[in-house]
């Protein structure tokens, strides 16, 4: 039994959710870049070890993995529904 093609309302809701997730991921990326710049400055002036940079990267990935996963899943859903809608 095949699923009926998606309605325009379903596509619109998913497109809006995808756009919101993309803005969130972009915000996280900007925050990550700012944190890296601050860490590099702190390393230079306060003589912090290089391992501190890796801790920041790992903490970022752990803290925002849910948002990244949500973005990737919504992108997959959108591609799937658009393919079903176009066929």
* pTM, entire model: 0.73
Query: Average pLDDT, whole number, for the chain?
Result: 84
Give yes or no for residue 77 having a pLDDT over 70: yes
Other beta carbons within 10 Å of 26 = 11
Domain that holds residue 75: 8-86
Number of domains in the chain: 1
In a domain, residue 1? The reply is no
Q: What whole-number percentage of the chain has pLDDT above 90?
A: 5
37 burial class (0-12, 13-18, 19+ CB within 10 angstroms)? exposed
| Residue at 2 is within a domain | no
Scanning the chain, the segments in alpha helix (DSSP H) are: 8-46, 51-86
Is 3 part of a structural domain of the chain?
Answer: no
Instruction: Name the token pair of 34.
Output: 């700012």
């Amino acid at each position: 039994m095949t699923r009926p093609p998606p309605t325009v309302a379903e596509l619109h809701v998913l497109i809006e959710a995808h756009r919101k997730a993309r803005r969130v991921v972009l915000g996280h990326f900007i925050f990550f870049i700012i944190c890296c710049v601050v860490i590099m400055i702190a390393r230079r002036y306060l003589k912090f070890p290089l391992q501190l940079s890796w801790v920041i990267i790992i903490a970022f990935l752990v803290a925002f993995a849910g948002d990244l996963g949500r973005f990737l899943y919504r992108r997959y859903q959108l591609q799937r529904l658009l393919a079903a809608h176009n066929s």
